[in-house]
Structure 1
Amino acid sequence: MNNRPAIDITQDIFDHICETIADKGYIVLHNLFPIAVLNNLVDDLSQINTSAFKPAAIGRQKNQQVVETIRSDKICWLDNTMTFAAPYFDWSERLRLAINRYFFLGLFDYETMFAHYEPGTFYKRHVDAFKGQSNRKLTTILYLNKEWQQGDGGELLMYRHDEAMPFETVEPRLGTMVVFLSELFPHEVSLSNKDRYSLTGWYRINEGIPLD
């Protein structure tokens, strides 16, 4: 699993991501990565031992707690020792550098997790970062569901501020990626009717706040 092909993406794509985020605050990308790269990710992630997964918590640091009425997925944190994910981490680093050049955000760190939503699970409306309280600045979500169909659930619903209705619904199809400013968009994961998988990550700035 060590010699995975690099994700060959031109600088134009990173420029497009930055320009769209500057204009809208978010971007939804389709078919960003080659299907071979996606299949490799799915195959290798599926081999992670189930004991590595834990119920996802809400809150930060000492205030973290598992509240299944709000969030009921299971997660496994990834790190650079997982060599099968090296192409994805390399791409994420290129995005970090591009975002920093464009926005001067000073993003210094990227953390990512493999999330599994079993049938009947969900994540109610929330914000990834609260202004003045978090150093998460940019969220990425890559969906890894090969045979997702309408009716399978697990869509990402994105909201503006306190509006009651979502302005964007993202189907969690294989290869779809969402990138958005973490503080700007409340969002939720609708009820999943079948197994749903994604890689979710956050870019951070250094505000002297310990990592979760």
Structure 2
Amino acid sequence: MLQLDHAFDEVVDAIAERGIGIFPAFLDSSRIEALRRDFAALPSWQLTPAGIGREQAHHTNERIRTDKTRWLEGDSPAQRDYQALMAGLQLQVNRQLFMGLKDYECHYALYQAGDFYKKHLDAFRGRGNRRLTTVVYLNDAWQADDGGELLVYPEKGKEVLHRVRPEAGTLVCFLSEQFPHEVLPARRERLSIAGWFRVDDPVAPTVLL
């Protein structure tokens, strides 16, 4: 637990100082393997083309994103363990940063060769209830020429702030309203868990998924 508390403190410090942090080896090898096995056991029909928009405005658009997703609903020990880990992070963030995070939602995201997600925001300022984005990668031995990097941009400007290789165990965590980002086309299968800590907010009609 002490090791986890230290990891959570590093995330809290990064969010407080810069609004974003990248943490290699956040997930240990046993959790990574358990989540991989959990994903591999899912029937293919449970993976659905990812969409954009919320509620009535939700739709698919292959010009913007081509990945497939499956929400984690606590259906397996691996999913429940991951959700418990994120609950611990939520507790620490609320305790130290007073963000008022209420719950956490997340899904597996599968990018097959050629898949991408164009530049977007996870929440528009003042119009959504997602406050903190997390992405955890589950890809073993990812090489530079495998593509699929996450590019993170500043709130204003076109320069790339961070280029993240999707290596197993790495966590990326950032303020959802502040950092536009995109996923470059992958050249091999790419697996991650994307998630969002949320607050109570009735105004959430146009948030991008």
Q: Give TM class, smaller chain.
A: over 0.9
Q: Which blocks of at least 5 consecutive residues in structure 2 are unaligned? A: none
Q: TM-score, normalised by structure 2?
A: 0.94
- 1:65 is matched with 59
> Bigger shift: 35-44 or 175-184?
35-44
Contact 2:135 2:171 in 1 (8 A): yes
Q: Following the alignment from structure 2 to structure 1, what is the Cα–Cα distance between the partners of residues 4 and 113?
A: 37
- 1:21 is matched with 15
- 1:205 is matched with 199
Relative to structure 1, the CA distance from residue 8 to residue 154 in structure 2 (aligned partners, 3 Å threshold; closer, same or farther) is farther
Letter in structure 1 aligned against 2:202:
G
Q: Following the alignment from structure 2 to structure 1, what is the Cα–Cα distance between the partners of residues 107 and 129?
A: 17
The answer to whether structure 1 residue 121 and structure 2 residue 115 are counterparts is: yes
Task: Choose which of 88, 112, 123 in structure 2 pairs with 1:94.
Answer: 88
Task: Give the fraction of aligned pairs with identical amino acids, expressed as a percent.
Answer: 37
Task: Choose which of 71, 76, 90 in structure 1 pairs with 2:70.
Answer: 76
Q: Deviations over 1:83-122 (max 9, x none)?
A: 3222211110000001111111111110000000011110
- 2:6 is matched with 12
Q: What SS does the aligned partner of 1:94 have?
A: helix
Letter in structure 2 aligned against 1:99:
V
Q: Following the alignment from structure 1 to structure 2, what is the Cα–Cα distance between the partners of residues 183 and 96?
A: 17
Q: Following the alignment from structure 1 to structure 2, what is the Cα–Cα distance between the partners of residues 9 and 92?
A: 15
**Shift in Å, 1:209:** 4.8
Contact 2:128 2:204 in 1 (8 A): no
Letter in structure 2 aligned against 1:153:
G
